[in-house]
Amino acid sequence: MTLADINRLPKTFTGARWTWAGQRWLSPLVLVLLWQLGAEIGWIPARILAAPSAVALTFWSMLVSGQLGTNLLVSFVRVMAGLAIGVAVGTTLALISGLSRLGETVVDAPVQMLRTLPVLALAPLFIVWFGIGETPKVGLIALSAVFPVYLNLFNGIRGIDVRLIEAARSFGLKGGALIWHVVLPGAMPSFLLGLRFALAVSWLVLVVAEEINASSGLGYLIMDARDFMRTDIIVVCLVIYALLGLGADTLVRGIEAKALAWRPAFLNK
């Protein structure tokens, strides 16, 4: 078999796919091994960064004791509550602004002004307004989720091909039917992209939000571990954050594959 024959082999060949997947995991595995080696020979002190073996033992002990599961559930509920509020508000504002010139005049300027404010800097103001309970935590997450959804959905609505609108009108669609059957499906890819950004930002803001007089949650575990210089617990929580972010992104990608199955890009997969 010549080199040209090899190049003509299908890219979906099982062995090739397995090799590609293995190569993707090779460099992270090497980094973990170097990390463990550096910890064992003393190059990386435990007070700077715990060894992977210590992190694994800490993860197991926190999982068995229920400490990790309980705090993870608290953080998850906070993120989902804030995300639901943020997505609802961002979607509503984007529809008002994207479907009407008057709505854009009224809504877009204030949203753009608020978007430039650092959300985390608003934490003291939220404490003054809402106290130190759950409300400011959920409120900060919700506020951070509004802007990615608004910006992407607004651009998606305004980016719909005018010829598509004209074709729909020629078939008698107008008003709410036009919005429901043409505008919203056309803007769905942009909405899902905004949702992916909103999920990522929500988990980032959660860490700071849980510093507001929190007695539970992943952010609380990190702050408590910092006081006792428990780098193993900090790394465990960071890994959990990374896995949650990856899982959330994978979930939205799955929704995207189902919701946008009519698009040529997905039909060819």
Do the beta carbons of residue 75 and residue 218 sit within 8 Å? yes
Do the beta carbons of residue 260 and residue 189 sit within 8 Å? yes
Do the beta carbons of residue 235 and residue 55 sit within 8 Å? yes
Mean of pLDDT over the chain: 80
Nearest to 75 by CA among 218, 238, 222, 237: 218
**Block mean pLDDT (10 aa), the chain, length 269:** 47 49 68 81 79 87 89 90 94 88 87 84 84 86 92 87 74 71 80 89 84 80 84 88 81 77 57
Strand, coil or helix: 78? helix
Nearest to 59 by CA among 243, 229, 237: 237
pLDDT at 9: 47
pLDDT at 14: 46
The Cα 88–Cα 63 span in angstroms is 34
The Cα 21–Cα 28 span in angstroms is 12
Do the beta carbons of residue 229 and residue 220 sit within 8 Å? no
pLDDT at 190: 87
Q: What is the DSSP letter of 121?
A: G
Nearest to 44 by CA among 52, 56, 35, 55: 35
The Cα 186–Cα 51 span in angstroms is 49
Handedness of CA 71, 81, 238, 124 (dihedral sign): negative
Q: How many CA atoms lie within 13 A of 35 on its CB side?
A: 16
- The structure tokens 């499906």 sit at 185
pLDDT at 81: 93
**Residue type, position 108, single letter:** D
Q: Is 141 exposed, middle or buried (0-12, 13-18, 19+ CB in 10 A)?
A: buried
pLDDT at 183: 77
The Cα 220–Cα 213 span in angstroms is 9
Strand blocks (E) in 174-232: none
The Cα 153–Cα 124 span in angstroms is 30
The Cα 220–Cα 71 span in angstroms is 8
